[in-house]
A and B are shown apart, each in its own frame.
Chain A
Amino acid sequence: MMQVAEGNRNGRVVLQAESLWKSYDEGTVVVLKGVDCAVFEGETVALCGPSGCGKSTLLHLLGGLDWADRGRVSVNGAQVNRHSDLLRLLRHEVGFVFQLHNLIPDLTLAENCLIPTVAAGIGRRIAQERLLELTERTGLSHRLDHRIQKLSGGERQRTAICRALMNRPKILLADEPTGSLDEHASKLIFDLLLELVATEGATLLMATHDRGLAGRCDRLVEMHDGKIHEHAHAE
């Protein structure tokens, strides 16, 4: 049984969608139909719903990877509407974790993780320290110089999480982060994700089909047919 979550709504709104509309194929496929939602600082939110209901699209819009046809996206109170906003967003404010880890296979684990720091122009020493810290916490410190092809699925996803957190973003957007893993690995990765989010003081918005994982979030947002139907939190 889901209930509307009120406890976390005392914090500051860090992600906000207002009347978001999004369509593809020249408007013939309408994916988001006036979505309104807000995510508060420090909370973990699961975005659930059937395939094709618009979860990934909503994450992409909130993270600045795509533009809405109509409506507004605000991150940390600032409306996202310019190219420079997007770069600032992707470099410093938002980290992405995808279902398919989206790592560059020919680079090593360390090199993959350092990509966001290169993009943001962060100094090598600071980047290295952060890399060591995160890989230590995710149990990957012994794999730093290994190429991605040599890593297991779980290790790859942990690498992707490290990479997403390298520039200390305060918002983590995760699109089915455990969707390609078995049940055991899935649980381990999600535990790690929650722990990192908590210790980093970050906010997590996660699209997932897994009701079990969703139930461990502070709040659950149900999407259906391009609309948000209910805000609830797990019992």
Chain B
Amino acid sequence: MIFLKLIVTNLRRHRIRSLISVAGIGFSVAAMLTVVTILQGAIGMFSSILSNDSEMIVFERDVSDLFFSNVPGEAAAQIAGWAMVAHANPVLFGIVSSEGHPIITCFGVTPADARIQKAAWVEGDRGNFARHEDDIVLGSRAAEFLSASLGSQVQIGHASFHVVGVLKTANGFEDGGVFMPLASAQSFFHKQGTSSVITVKLRNKDDVAAFKRMIREKYPSLIALEDAEFTRSYSQFRILKATAWAVGGCGLLLGGLGVANTMIMSVFTRIREIAILRVNGFSQVQVGGVIFGESAVVSVSGALAGLLVGTCFLYALKLIPALDGYVDPTIHPLLMLVVLVLALLTGVAGAVYPAFYAMRIRAVEALRFE
């Protein structure tokens, strides 16, 4: 109890300094949490596009980005005919632009695609999709920012398209995207006869290995991965995740330097007090424990504050209409734990030098000269 009191007393003694340190860690944690959650959310959304009513994805082997993947059209047709396959849908990804909106995700899909068949249609009829090559369906947010509705003509890139439907999905990329008939998209993006990926649903999940083997044997230039496997291994996702953690880590490092500064000041201003503890039998380890305890209290308080601020910030972002569907404010418990542990480790690391200094204070000198 006294041990805890010694820790808390010193933090209370320098309230402003302690609060600044807590705020430093808090904002670092909030920044890390926000960046990582937003990027993981984005990755999750992109993954969900691929895994829409499918569990496997087939794409060009060794391609760095799915937008550059070319899967021959006949492969989709043949794969769809395999006995183990329930359905196989080619999807062509592209980026289109419109006035005031330089980047709009475009999906070239067949009428059988789950996006067309299972989404909630706000306007239009799913049966009308792909009847004409200039027909498109808009996600509800895309319809909003393009000021388009059923029957509108919208200019996208160099062509004009006729809106035959508006659909609503929970996925930001899809809801802010444009759905074209596959053939139209192939023509628009000059990728005749190809798709970016084939999304595949197997009749029996036990056939995954066999399916992969067949793809490897029959289409050596293609690769089949399970959705989760793809999410883990796709280089773009890995780069995004690494970037998120690096940015968050830099924030945390700054917070850690703040803790280190606070702890150094804490030790320097209480040398006499530490000497008193030593004279009264405190070991070096016990003195170090007080210093590390202080930094742990600062770090954990900061981390908890950061979790709160980060969560509020994510919910606030979600409320911004333009970001609706792009931000998932759900914080994974594991992420929370990782952030808490990282904050604690940062605080402890920040206290290493101050603690080491405190442990080496010689009581007799401190008492004599102060």
Contacts and interface: CB of A to CB of B under 8 A. Distances in A.
B280 interface: yes
A167 B281 contact: yes
Given A106-B13, A115-B277, A65 B363 contact: yes
A5 interface: no
A120 B9 contact: no
A12 B345 CA distance: 52
Most buried by B among A106, A111, A163: A106
Contacts of A104: 6, 9, 273, 276
Contacts of A90: 278-281
Contact of B280 (A56, A106, A116, A124): A116
Nearest to A84: B283
B2 A111 contact: yes
B341 to A, nearest CB: 28
Contacts of B189: none
Given A66-B364, A106-B9, A118-B2, A163 B281 contact: no
B279 A102 contact: yes
Contact of B2 (A60, A87, A102, A114): A114
Contacts of A78: none
Interface in A85-108: 87, 90-91, 96, 98, 102-104, 106-107
Interface string B53-91: 000000000000000000000000000000000000000
Interface size class of B (residues with CB under 8 A): 20 to 34
Given A106-B13, A111-B5, A118-B3, A60 B364 contact: yes
A116 B281 contact: yes
Interface residues of A, number: 24
Interface in B312-370: 362-364, 367-368
Nearest to B270: A104
B283 A119 contact: yes
Given A90-B279, A102-B276, A119 B363 contact: no
Interface string B235-271: 0000000000000000000000000000000000000
B9 A119 contact: no
Nearest to A65: B364
Contacts, number: 58
For the complex, would chain B's binding face be called helix, strand, loop or mixed by DSSP majority? helix
Contacts of B364: 60, 65-66
Given A87-B283, A111-B2, A124-B1, A102 B277 contact: no
A96 B281 contact: no
Contacts of B6: 104, 107
B34 to A, nearest CB: 37
Interface in A103-131: 103-104, 106-107, 111, 114-116, 118-120, 124
A90 B1 CA distance: 21
A60 B275 CA distance: 13
B369 to A, nearest CB: 11
A124 B3 CA distance: 12
Interface string A141-183: 0000000000000000000000100010000000000000000
12 contacts: A56-B368, A66-B362, A66-B364, A106-B9, A106-B12, A107-B2, A115-B282, A116-B281, A118-B2, A119-B280, A120-B281, A124-B1
Interface of A: 56, 60, 65-66, 87, 90-91, 96, 98, 102-104, 106-107, 111, 114-116, 118-120, 124, 163, 167
Given A87-B281, A106-B9, A106-B13, 13 more contacts: A60-B364, A65-B364, A66-B362, A66-B364, A87-B283, A91-B281, A102-B279, A102-B367, A104-B9, A106-B12, A107-B5, A107-B6, A115-B282
